[in-house]
Structure 1
Amino acid sequence: MSAYRVPTDRPEADGTLSWDATTMVVVGADAGETAGLGWTYAPAAAARVVTDLLAPVVRGGDPMDVPGLWTAMVRRVRNASRTGVAGYAISAVDVALWDLKARLLGVPLARLFGLARQDVPVYGSGGFTTYDDDVTSLQLAHWTHEQGIPRVKIKIGESAGTAPDRDLHRVALARRVIGDAAELYVDANGGYSAKQAVRIERRMRDHDVRWFEEPVSSDDLAGLRLVRERADADVAAGEYGGDLTYFTRMCAAGAVDCLQIDATRCGGYTGWSGAAAIAAGHGLEVSAHCAPNLHAPVAAATPNLRHMEWFHDHVRIEGDLFDGAADPTGGAVRPPDAPGHGLTLRADAAEPYRVA
């Protein structure tokens, strides 16, 4: 178990937060000579949760019985709170356990789950508010013109909704760069009030924006529903979901057109499957949030999947620190044919970034 803090390639920000590094917590699960690998993007404190709380209840368990081990972990963190850092830790261990099980059986993880599709559609994601027009244009052109990804997303909601002119300028710039054929998405990261979001969504219609992610805070279910009822673009949220109750409330409130799920936060592959079932029960599709190489196997096994986020930070980290990373050329990725999720940590490449 280790934590690595990897600096960004340039300063990054969205509508409500700025950062200059991303921390990844990596967990191993061994059975004899076979090892499984899991990870999450979380504070390094998640590593201590794994060591102090989760390892004692997982050690000695049967790797074929991952749901039982998952349940034991959830019970173990009751007084540490199921969501947040403890939930991130559970997610990393759960992914490692499923990877271990598939490797013990000698099958790709996607095959163990059972394929719903051969290829997983992706959308390019970045377009941070700290980027100037040139950097934004280069990134968007790389995805659409060089890699052939037919859908892309940029960040808006800058200054908590007080800079709509720059937001609209960047949306117009993105449409010019990607052309008329590609789908354009935006993500406000909760930067607007509901009425602000309604007003700016109307102005974005001139640029055919198809996806409006977190126009308001994900905790504001009434606000999400208000925007959804008045928007042409699909409203999406759910990336901060940590348990099934969260996803049930969001779906039951009619707050989203597409539910986002992050397996590095909601309890790993086990939590993902439950959340996807809840969405299906409400007639909704799901979209994988970030960590694309981790999500590829379970996304391929999800019948009501719409697509997966090809997030700039995580793509760069996973491509640099793991062997077996996917190639999105053409707008989709295919889970590896190797046993498990097919990724192995390049310890020599990761070591300079170790913080725990």
Structure 2
Amino acid sequence: MSTIERVAASAYRIPTDQPEGDGTLAWRATTLVVVTVTAGDTTGTGWTYAPAATASLVSELLNETLTGADALGIPALSAAMNRQVRNAGRPGVAGYALSAVDVALWDLKARLLGVPLVRLFGAAREEVPLYGSGGFTTYDDEATTAQLAGWVHGQGIARVKIKIGESSGTCPERDLHRVALARRVIGERAELYVDANGAYTAKQAVRVAERMREHEVTWFEEPVSSDDLAGLRLVREHSAADVTAGEYGCDPPYFTRMCQAQAVDCLQVDATRCGGYTGWFAATAVAAGHHLQVSAHCAPNLHLPAAAATVNLRHIEWFHDHQRIESTLFDGAADPTGGRARPQTGTPGHGLTLRTGTAQSYRVA
């Protein structure tokens, strides 16, 4: 039985374990939107990190489009959903909703066929390299030290990323202090990445990049806005680190523009924003056509099966906030020890199951 009978969505607001912030935003809670799609006695699950209104959009716009359709025909369903959200705006909340549903559809299809999702995609590797990501601008030195030391010296993760660009780039000396602290904590052999979340101006980012050279920063994410291609190119030309465009690409045309501009060395792709796994593979194909690698942005357990099936993958982001949520609210979360993670291969689908009882206390929609 492969006819879709039910589409449901719910939202959960989970407090952070301590205040979190980056160069342009601060937050004390994160909202997880979970979508389930059911055909017969089989259910697929998808999710995204987005406003609770995303759940309402799934119910109002996408439920009727999918109900009664063939669950195995994902390309047709993806096209139908894109048409349905036309007047709701493809990026933003509509993009989040479409992405979560798409992930649920792929999980459902794999479960209906009785195969692990990574096998349905076609595995390119058995395990996926990752990097620890956090180091928020709201952390003091003690919190930063504990997190970085836990990753590198406790779990053997040899790549880490911290946030810089504090207060929209107005605190560069503290940024540089934190970069120096991070290097001391992780030692000489671990890779050090930074993310400014678009907080700097282009020339300011060039100055910061020059001063970070002594700390061997090899990944400078979104030094300026991801829409500022000229600024990204300027920083790339003057930085010893790989310059990345940030995580805000919402569809393949965005990635086409980034690739053609050649303003970055590696593109970040986020399946929870760019159209789910369908959007992921479209974007990674565009990048591959321009001989560029991709890195998965956030939602590490969701990205694992797709990342393992992507030839031009560099790594995935083991984002502290999302990994904490996924390991708390889902059974089947992966272990990052050693700096690599394996997608689930012992059960059909992506292998993650929502702990409904645990999640219920956080439900807001």
Q: TM-score range by the shorter chain?
A: over 0.9
Map of 1:347 onto structure 2:
356
Q: Work out whether 1:71 is the aligned partner of 2:85.
A: no
The residue correspondences of 1:206-285 to structure 2 (distance < 5 A) are 206-285=214-293
Which amino acid letter does the alignment assign opposite residue 238 of structure 2?
R
Moved more, 154-163 or 68-77: 154-163
Which amino acid letter does the alignment assign opposite residue 206 of structure 1?
E
Between the two proteins, what is the percent identity of the paired residues?
A: 73
TM-score, normalising length from structure 1? 0.99
Confirm or deny: 8 A CA contact 2:295 2:315 kept in the other structure. yes
Confirm or deny: 8 A CA contact 1:238 1:250 kept in the other structure. no
Show structure 2 runs of 5+ residues with no match.
Answer: 1-8
Q: Deviations over 1:245-302 (max 9, x none)?
A: 1111111111210000000000000000000001111110000000000000000000
Moved over 4 A (4+): none
Map of 2:209 onto structure 1:
201
Map of 2:177 onto structure 1:
169
Q: How many residues align?
A: 356
Map of 1:152 onto structure 2:
160
Which amino acid letter does the alignment assign opposite residue 134 of structure 1?
E
Map of 1:56 onto structure 2:
64
3-state DSSP class of the match of 1:353?
coil
Q: Please point out which of 126, 140, 159 is paired with 2:134.
A: 126
TM-score, normalising length from structure 2? 0.97
Map of 1:96 onto structure 2:
104
3-state DSSP class of the match of 1:255?
coil
| Rounded Cα–Cα distance in structure 1 between residues aligned with 2:359 and 2:271 | 22
Show structure 1 runs of 5+ residues with no match.
Answer: none
RMSD of Structure 2 on Structure 1 (CA): 0.6
Q: Please point out which of 133, 146, 150 is paired with 1:138.
A: 146
3-state DSSP class of the match of 2:125?
coil
Which amino acid letter does the alignment assign opposite residue 352 of structure 1?
S
Quote how far apart the aligned CAs of 1:67 are: 1.2
Which amino acid letter does the alignment assign opposite residue 361 of structure 2?
P
Q: Please point out which of 186, 197, 221 is paired with 1:189.
A: 197
The residue correspondences of 1:21-32 to structure 2 (distance < 5 A) are 21-32=29-40
Q: Deviations over 1:36-72 (max 9, x none)?
A: 0000000001111100001111111111111110110
